[in-house]
Structure 1
Amino acid sequence: MSASSPQPSFFRPVAPRDIPDDDHPALDMPPWMGPPWHVAPAIVALDREVGRSSDTVVSLVLARVYREGVALRLAVRVAETGRLARQRIWGYLDRAHGRGQLDERFDPTGLRWGVRFADGRTVTTQDDSPWARGDVTDTQVEGPVLEGLARPQGYADSWEREFWVWPTPPGATFEVGVEWTARGIPETVTELDAEALDAASARARPLWL
């Protein structure tokens, strides 16, 4: 039996080219700014509703936990079936996501939320970001800090975005407060397990040693 002919490659040949070296040292980023580079976080499933009305649900989906802080994934789901109606809601959240003083288009009846530590310290999306103070350094930021991460994601009836909370909430529990008057959600406070996040932070590890 004769051997079958080899199949042609999916890919056309590419001529080799010189690529200049672009090896930069790792960015020395203060921990309040966001997750550390080159670290694999521990993942903690939260799956907790933190605000609800007849047509809107706000929930915390999961936490990516580092030793320095935690990235909380906030999700909004709405009952609207019209594409344009959903796009208007997502457009508002993309602009403001509850951050008030940094966005002149913030609706005073819009989404606002925040975190309260067991020691009483509180940060909400109505507080100024440390970035608003201009040239900040790690020593000028006491925390807690709540910062948006990356770009929001909207699909069908849901909108999601991650937020950096620094430092990792201390103590046994912490609280998340949500209010969205325009969507019928009154101020709602939910207690969450801070010890689970603290335990998970020990599992965060460098990707390369």
Structure 2
Amino acid sequence: MGFFDDLVLPEEPVEQMPLLRLGPPGEDAGRFAPPLDWFAPALLPQRAVVGSGPHVRVVLTGWSVWPDGATLHLSVHRKVRRQKIPSGRQSGLRVGLELSDGRRVTSLDAPRQRHLEWTSRDGETVSAVTRQAVGLIPLDGSRSSSSRSVFAVPVDLYLAELPPPGGTGLVVEWPDEDVPETRTPVDASALRAASAGAVEIWPGIEPPAPVGEPGSVALVEMGGPPAFLAPPTAPHRQAELEQREKERRRYVPRADWEDMSSHDWNDPR
């Protein structure tokens, strides 16, 4: 007798028609989201309080490491729940990584336009343009909502690359909760070494044969990252910040006329 035989009744087999077949990873696999369909990540624990305010703690719990990227796992713990603050405030939780090559990757990086193309069932090429988050990309935390506490909320952020070797820092700030800018060291070498432990689920998978099957399936899921996470910079705001920085640099003393244009001579400063 099988292990479950005394718990279930025999049923007639059901013919299952394929809805969509998985193919090998494309060029964009892992570029904007973790490559969940093809790999199981290596888990690298790292536990530390990376941000602290009067009523909140931001805790780093570890990393899921993919062949070419990593998911940062944070947990936000409160001891007081107040009236909901309107979402979309850039004074919400801010998270960033300071890489050894001088680059800064953050959850505030302005989204870019992403061009999508796919082939429909009738063979026509369909294209669309969408706003694509970049930098530290917030992932949908609603899938684990059944295990959420009233006072603890998970925050997952995806980095579509492995940090280069050398000193790397995790930077957290949350003005709305009086959490000052706080830096925590990250072992980039350990992340890069852990990437070798990611398991490929379907090695050598063949492209699906298009035999009457749809070329794409749209999945609509409700949810998203926690509302207290500061959103990326809006395009018009990003342009304003760039203009401000350009004006600031115009007045930095320098020994030559580099970057001077004709209209700059009209400015007495």
TM-score (norm 2): 0.59
CA contact (8 A) 1:48 1:59 kept: yes
Please tell me the root mean square deviation across aligned C-alpha atoms, in Å: 2.7
1:15 is the counterpart of 2:18: no
SS of 1:150's equivalent in the other structure is coil
1:176 pairs with 2:170: yes
Question: Secondary structure of the residue that 1:33 maps to in structure 2?
Answer: coil
Name the structure with the higher strand share: 1
CA-CA distance at 1:163 after TM superposition: 1.3
Residue of structure 2 equivalent to 1:148: 138
User: Which stretch of structure 1 is more off in the superposition, 55-64 or 10-19?
Assistant: 10-19
What is the total number of aligned residue pairs between the two structures? 178
Structure 2 CA distance for partners of 1:70 and 1:86, relative to 1, 3 Å:
farther
Report the equivalent of 1:135: 115
What runs of 5+ residues in structure 1 fail to find an aligned partner? 1-7, 93-104, 138-143
Tell me by how many angstroms 1:30 deviates. 3.3
CA contact (8 A) 2:76 2:155 kept: no
2:140 partner letter: A
Cα deviation, 1:112-158, whole Å, max 9, x if unaligned, reads 1111111111121211234xx13169xxxxxx731122324431321
The answer for the alignment partner of 2:230 in structure 1 is none
Task: State the structure with more CA Rg.
Answer: 2
**Pair 1:124-2:118 in alignment:** no
2:53 aligns to what?
A: 53
From 133, 155, 159, the counterpart of 1:161:
155
Deviation at 1:56, TM superposition (A): 0.7
Q: Is the 8 A contact 2:162 2:192 kept in 1?
A: yes
1:25 aligns with 2:22: yes
Deviation of 1:205 after TM superposition, in Å, equals 2.4
- 1:111 offset after TM fit, Å? 1.1
- Amino acid aligned to 1:170: P
- The one-letter code sitting in structure 2 at the alignment partner of 1:147 is I
SS of corresponding position for 1:134: strand
Percent of aligned pairs with the same residue? 28
State how 1:36-47 maps to structure 2 within 5 Å: 36=35, 37-47=37-47
Provide the C-alpha distance between the structure 2 equivalents of 1:21 and 1:106, rounded to a whole number of angstroms: 40
TM-score, normalization by structure 1: 0.74
Instruction: Give structure 2 stretches of 5+ with no counterpart.
Output: 118-133, 204-269
Partners in 2 of 1:87 and 1:39 — Cα distance?
Answer: 40
CA distance in 1, matches of 2:71, 2:83: 25
C-alpha distance in structure 2 between counterparts of 1:74 and 1:166, whole Å: 17
Q: 1:190 to 1:34 in 2, by over 3 A?
A: same
**3-state DSSP class of the match of 1:147?**
strand
Partner SS for 1:31: coil
Provide the secondary structure at the position in 2 that maps to 1:88.
coil
C-alpha separation in 1, matches of 2:20 and 2:193: 35
Question: Is 1:88 aligned with 2:70?
Answer: no
Q: 1:203 maps to what in 2? A: 197
